[in-house]
Structure 1
Amino acid sequence: MVTPETKGHRCVRVTQGVHRITGSTATCRNTTGGNVGNPTVPDDFGQGEGADETAAQIYLGTLNIPIDKLRGYPGNPRRGDLPAIKESLANNDQYRSIVVQADDPEHPEEGGTVLAGNHVYLGAKDLGWTELRSDMLHVDDERARRIVAVDNRASQLGSMDERLLAELLGELPDLTGTGYDEAEFDKLVRMLDEDAADTGMGPLPEPGDADTDEMPQVWGVIVTCRDEAEQVEMLRRFGEDGLNVRAIVS
């Protein structure tokens, strides 16, 4: 178990609005040889002439924080799938830290408000966990709101490559802890098969079975995309692989 006494939060050096991690133990040494102890944050943090307004946060360290010293973000708009998250925690443990706005930046071990990972926090509480690995930040309330908003929004803006997903899930012996069940996987595979049939792809050809006795000038493959965004992404990916590709709109 990592505790502030054994591993500690990192020390932060603050010079003219520039904030850097300068140590990795609970008690660090400054350049003059004295102990600087816990991170200290100036009252005018992120403000005033010469301050870096784009860096209005300080990373205080990653600590195992007791559950009873954490609280969910009030008014969090996200409504996550708590049963799926609890299943993941039970089978995969905590594979990434939650993000927490520290109540006291000089004592991040005292906990704070969860900004990212609210449903992980709720699921862990339901499972009877006693602590969570937490990235502790010193941020003002405005930055905290922005973090909550973008953490919820960014996942919505992404898309899923269903074929790669099916391949990923198909390589597993079972679907426990993935967020998918067998019925969902079967539905995904059927959808991909139907899409292949609709585009006339059929089964993949074997090498050497082309219906021609002469070497053609061009060997080509047509990829049907769902929308313009996917077309742009496919052009980018194939181009990075060194393939000669062009867009077709019909």
Structure 2
Amino acid sequence: MAYEGADYETITLERRGTVAILTLNRPERLNALSAALRGEVAQAVAAVKADDEVRAMVLTGAGRGFCAGADLMGDGAVATGKPAPRNTQAERLDDLLWMGRWALMFRDFDKPIIGAINGVAAGAGFSTALACDVRIGSEHARFKSVFIERAISPDSAMSYLLPRIVGYAEAADIIFTSRAVGADEALRLGLLNRLTSQDELGEAAIAYAEEMTGWPPLALRASKRVLQQNVDAEFEAALRNEVKGLDVAHRALNDAKESRAAFAEKRKGVYTGT
């Protein structure tokens, strides 16, 4: 079902049970990131984050592309110039430019994001795919960094995310050559977690999300957060982060009881987040 009161021009947002589906919807521009689209995505992400009925989000693109990156023909072009030093938190966020704020928005989203990669993901669109927790793609999925072709270095968190997914050398190969990575290679490298047909991609992405949303929601959120925190953490700090995650998960006392009952009765649990 569509979200009530949502009147979007560049995206669509709907909910299927516990899964939200956010679709970039500028197919004539391969879903390039205009300012209008970025603003509507930010509104949609905030709405999904606040909706306790939703436990995961699928992010995909309309038409033959996932996202072609910044809209270089419009108002989404890369900003130039060096930002001045800022003091307040809001001003420091402004220093990140729109590309950094875009990446941070996905980083701060506390539910799993499943990227359904239906076509080309280039530039900041590639970064957007990387910002998803997992990715499922069709045979049409294709990844291209593009930045060096525009005489710029990577932005929107690509330089952070890509080497953590595929390793430094593979990331360097992809970024320094700006070559295209097709679906089969993407699966081998870990850019895609799963591969399916184009016709089945939408339903397969929702089914993938539902594999996650059937589990206790607080435990799911805590698991995402501790994974993010421990990517670069020292060992003892990682252990402390795990303890904090356990504290969050343990707040759902009814889910803990249901988990034990479901295990004992050899059935699938029904979890409420309480």
Superposition TM-score, scaled by structure 1 size: 0.25
Superposition TM-score, scaled by structure 2 size: 0.24
More helix by share: 2
